[in-house]
C-alpha cells in the first residue's frame, strides 16, 4: 500500500507535484498516467525517498521509505533500467544489491530464472540489448520478494513478446496480493494491464478510479449502427428527430450518440428499417486520456510561449523532461 | 509478503555492497593497481638513472613518483562516487540503502583500507627496490619506519578527501580537476604568497608526503616548519571535516 497525502514538490518557483493525495492498494495493478512533465517521475522519486517532499507525506505500508530497515525486502523499484554500470556483470549487479539488504545469495539465481536471464548472467551490462536491460531492471526489483512494486515505464524497449511477458508477470504479482504501481505512456498497454488508474496533470490529481469506470465515465463513444445503403439516410433523419447526434463512423455506418442502443433498435423496428449492426462503442483509454489531459498540455504550451528563451515548436526547447 | 527474513542490514552489509561494486569493475581494479605500480616504477627509474640530488635520501628518491600515485588515490576517491552519478546507479544505491550517510561512510572505509594496503605494500617495495639498485653508501638511507605507515595513512586520507570532493561536486571532470588542484596548486602558487607560503604550501597533502618521504624538497622555507606527523594529522583533520560536510549535503539534497 502506497499512500500520498498532500504530497507537494517544488523546484524553485516551479511546482512539479501539487498537493497530491492518492492510495495505491494491494491486489491490483495500478497505472500511473500523465503527460510528460506532469510529475510522475517526481512522485515516484518522492515515494522512494530520493527527492524529499516540499510538503505533505508519502509512505509505503505506513513507513517513510528512508526509514525502512531493509527496503529491498519491502519495495522493489525500477526507475531507469539503463542505470547499471556498463562494466558490471548481470550477476555482479544483482549480487551487490542482494548483499546490501542481507538477502540470501540464491535469490540472485532465482530472479535471473524468473526473468529469463540465466544464460546472460556473466555478461557485462553494456552488452545487453534494451529488452535484456529491462529484464535485469525487473530482476533487481523482484530480488527482495517485495510486497510493493513500483515500476517507471517497465515496457520501454521490450518487444511484443516481452510486453506480454511483463503484463502477465505484473498481473500474477498483483494476484498474489502485492501492490503493483506502474507508469507508462503506452495507453493501449496500460488499458490491458492496469485495473486501477491514477491520472495526474501539472502535478495535480485528475482521476483516481477503476479502469472500466474511468473509460465509461469519460467515454464519448456512442453506438455504431449499420443499415442497408438505401435506408441509411432515413435512419439518420429518424434518429436525429429523436434527439440523437449522428455522424459517420470511421469503420462505416453511423456513430450515434445521445440515445442508448436499445432505443435505436426499437425505433428502427417501429419504422421497418433493417439494422445490420448495433454495437456499443467505448472510447479507448487513449481517447479518454487525451481529451482529459489536453487542457493541461495546452496550458503548458501557453506558458512556453511566454518564456523569453523558449520558442514553441523547436525540438530542443519544446520538449519537457520526461514526466 | 516477503518470505525473506534474516539479519537486519547495517553498516556491514552496506560495506559488502560497496566492496561488491568496487571489485566488480575492471576500471577500479586497474586504477587501484596503477596507484601502486606508478610508485614502484618511479623507484626503478630513479635507481637506474641515478637521478638523485646528492643531499637526497634513498627513501625520498625511491618515492619520487609517489606524488603521482597520491593524485591517483584522490581521483579514485572522487570517481567512487562521481561514477555512480555518471551512470545514474546512484538511484539504485540509495533505494537499496536509503541511509546516505551510511553509504558514504562505507565508501570511505573501503577506500581507506584498500589505499592503505596498496600504498604500504607499493611504497615498501619501492624503497627496497630503490635501495637495492642505488649505489651503496652514496646516499643517506632515510628512516623508512615509521614513515611508511604514515605515507600509507596519507594515501587513505587523500582517497577520503577525493571522496568528499566528489560527493560535494558530483560531476567527474570537476571533481578530478579539483582533487588534482588541491594536490598541485599549493606548491605551485605557494611562492606568490610570500611569508604565507609556508602555510599555503605546508598545509597541502603534497607537503605532508614530502615531509614523510624525507625528500630534500621538503625544506622549511617551502613547506613550513610543521613536522611530518603533525602535517599528516592536519590533512586528516580537514579531510574528515570535508567528509562530514559532504555527508551533511548528501543527506539534505535530492539525489
A319: left (phi over 0), alpha (psi -120 to 50) or beta: beta
pLDDT for position A323:
37
Selected for mutation to probe chain A from B7, B81, B95 (highest A CB count within 10 Å) is B95
- Residue B99 with chain A: CB contacts under 8 Å: 66
d(CA A77, CA A99): 17
Output the CA angle A160-A166-A170, nearest 5 degrees.
150
pLDDT at position A319 is 36
pLDDT tops 50 at residue A317: no
Sequence ranges of the domains in chain A: 2-210, 222-280, 286-318
Note the Cα B29 to chain centre separation in Å: 16
Region B117-130: mean pLDDT is 96
Whether B49 and chain A come into contact, CB under 8 Å, resolves to no
pLDDT at B148 over 70: yes
Going by pLDDT thresholds of 50, 70 and 90, the confidence category of residue B49 is confident
CB contact under 8 A, B4 and A95: no
B88 burial type by CB count under 10 A (0-12 exposed, 13-18 middle, 19+ buried): middle
Task: Select from B26, B97, B254 the Cβ nearest to the Cβ of A50.
Answer: B254
- Chain A: residue whose CA lies nearest to B92: A83
What percentage of chain A reaches a pLDDT higher than 90? 63
Q: Is A88 on the interface with B (CB under 8 A)?
A: yes
SS3 call for A276:
coil
* Angle of the B147-169 helix axis to the B66-86 helix axis, nearest 10: 30
pLDDT at B3: 65
Mean pLDDT in residue range A215-234: 84
Give the list of residues 6+ apart from residue B143 with CB closer than 8 angstroms, or none: B59, B214
B146: cis peptide before it, omega within 30°? Answer: yes
Would you say the pTM of this structure is higher than 0.90? no
Residue of A280 and A321 predicted with greater confidence: A280
pLDDT tops 80 at residue A105: yes
Q: Is the pLDDT of residue A242 over 80?
A: yes
CB contact under 8 A, A146 and B1: yes
Q: Is the pLDDT of residue A116 over 90?
A: yes
From chain A, the residues in CB contact with B255 under 8 A are 45, 50-51
Superfamily for A2-210? P-loop containing nucleotide triphosphate hydrolases (3.40.50.300)
A222-280 is a CATH 3.40.50 domain: no
ipTM of this predicted structure: 0.92
Q: Does A82 touch chain B (CB under 8 A)?
A: yes
For residue A68, the chain B residues in CB contact (below 8 A) are 98
Give the angle A295-A298-A303 at the CA atoms, nearest 5°. Answer: 125
Provide the edge-to-edge strand list for the sheet that holds A245-248. Answer: A245-248, A254-257, A223-226, A277-280
pLDDT at position B218 over 50: yes
Shortest CA gap A153–chain B (Å): 16
Using the predicted structure, report yes or no on whether residue A231 has a pLDDT greater than 50: yes
Amino acid at each position: 500500500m502506497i499512500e500520498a497525502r498532500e504530497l507537494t514538490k517544488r523546484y524553485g518557483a516551479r511546482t512539479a507535484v501539487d498537493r497530491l493525495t492518492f492510495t495505491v492498494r494491494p491486489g491490483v495493478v495500478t497505472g500511473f498516467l500523465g503527460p510528460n512533465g506532469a510529475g510522475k517521475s517526481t512522485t515516484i522519486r518522492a515515494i522512494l525517498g530520493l527527492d524529499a517532499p516540499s510538503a505533505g507525506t508519502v509512505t509505503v505500508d505506513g513507513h517513510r521509505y528512508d526509514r525502512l530497515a531493509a527496503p529491498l525486502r519491502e519495495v522493489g523499484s525500477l526507475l531507469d533500467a539503463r542505470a547499471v554500470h556498463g562494466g558490471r556483470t548481470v550477476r555482479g549487479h544483482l549480487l551487490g544489491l542482494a548483499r546490501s539488504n542481507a538477502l540470501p545469495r540464491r535469490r540472485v539465481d532465482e530472479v535471473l530464472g524468473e526473468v529469463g536471464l540465466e544464460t546472460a548472467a556473466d555478461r557485462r551490462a553494456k552488452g545487453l540489448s534494451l529488452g535484456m536491460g529491462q529484464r535485469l531492471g525487473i530482476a533487481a526489483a523482484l530480488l527482495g520478494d517485495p510486497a510493493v512494486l513500483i515500476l517507471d515505464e517497465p515496457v520501454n524497449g521490450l518487444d511484443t513478446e516481452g510486453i506480454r511477458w511483463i503484463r502477465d508477470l505484473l498481473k500474477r504479482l498483483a494476484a498474489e496480493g502485492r501492490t503493483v504501481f506502474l507508469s507508462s505512456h503506452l495507453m493501449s498497454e496500460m488499458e490491458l494491464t492496469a485495473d486501477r488508474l491514477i491520472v495526474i496533470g501539472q502535478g495535480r490529481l485528475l482521476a483516481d478510479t477503476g479502469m472500466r469506470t474511468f473509460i465509461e465515465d469519460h467515454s464519448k463513444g456512442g453506438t455504431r449502427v449499420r443499415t442497408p445503403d438505401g435506408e441509411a439516410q432515413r435512419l439518420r433523419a429518424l434518429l436525429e428527430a429523436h434527439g440523437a447526434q449522428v455522424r459517420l463512423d470511421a469503420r462505416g455506418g453511423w456513430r450515434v450518440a445521445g440515445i442508448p442502443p436499445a432505443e435505436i433498435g426499437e425505433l428502427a423496428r417501429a419504422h421497418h428499417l433493417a439494422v445490420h449492426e448495433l454495437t456499443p462503442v467505448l472510447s479507448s483509454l487513449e481517447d479518454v486520456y487525451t481529451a482529459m489531459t489536453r487542457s493541461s498540455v495546452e496550458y503548458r504550451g501557453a506558458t512556453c510561449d511566454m518564456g523569453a528563451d523558449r520558442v514553441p515548436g523547436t525540438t530542443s526547447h519544446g520538449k519537457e523532461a520526461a514526466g | 509478503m516477503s518470505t525473506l527474513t534474516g539479519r537486519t542490514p547495517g553498516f556491514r552489509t552496506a560495506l559488502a555492497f560497496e566492496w561488491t561494486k568496487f571489485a566488480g569493475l575492471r576500471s577500479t581494479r586497474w586504477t587501484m593497481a596503477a596507484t601502486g605500480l606508478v610508485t614502484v616504477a618511479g623507484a626503478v627509474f630513479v635507481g637506474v638513472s641515478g637521478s638523485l640530488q646528492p643531499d637526497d635520501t634513498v627513501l625520498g628518491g625511491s618515492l619520487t613518483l609517489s606524488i603521482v600515485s597520491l593524485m591517483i588515490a584522490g581521483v579514485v576517491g572522487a570517481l567512487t562516487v562521481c561514477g555512480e552519478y555518471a551512470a545514474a546507479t546512484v538511484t539504485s544505491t540509495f533505494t537499496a540503502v536509503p541511509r546516505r550517510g551510511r553509504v558514504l561512510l562505507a565508501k570511505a572505509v573501503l577506500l581507506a583500507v584498500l589505499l592503505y594496503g596498496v600504498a604500504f605494500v607499493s611504497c615498501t617495495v619501492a624503497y627496497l627496490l630503490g635501495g637495492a639498485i642505488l649505489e651503496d653508501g652514496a646516499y643517506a638511507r632515510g628512516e623508512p619506519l615509521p614513515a611508511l605507515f604514515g605515507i600509507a595513512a596519507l594515501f587513505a586520507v587523500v582517497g577520503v578527501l577525493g571522496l568528499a570532493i566528489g560527493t560535494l561536486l558530483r560531476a567527474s571532470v570537476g571533481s578530478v580537476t579539483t582533487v588534482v588542484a588541491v594536490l598541485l596548486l599549493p606548491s605551485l602558487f605557494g611562492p606568490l604568497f610570500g611569508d604565507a607560503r609556508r602555510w599555503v604550501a605546508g598545509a597541502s597533502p603534497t607537503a605532508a608526503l614530502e615531509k614523510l618521504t624525507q625528500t630534500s624538497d621538503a625544506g622549511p622555507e617551502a613547506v613550513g616548519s610543521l613536522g611530518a606527523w603533525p602535517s599528516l594529522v592536519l590533512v586528516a583533520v580537514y579531510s574528515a571535516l570535508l567528509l562530514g560536510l559532504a555527508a551533511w549535503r548528501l543527506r539534505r539534497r535530492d539525489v
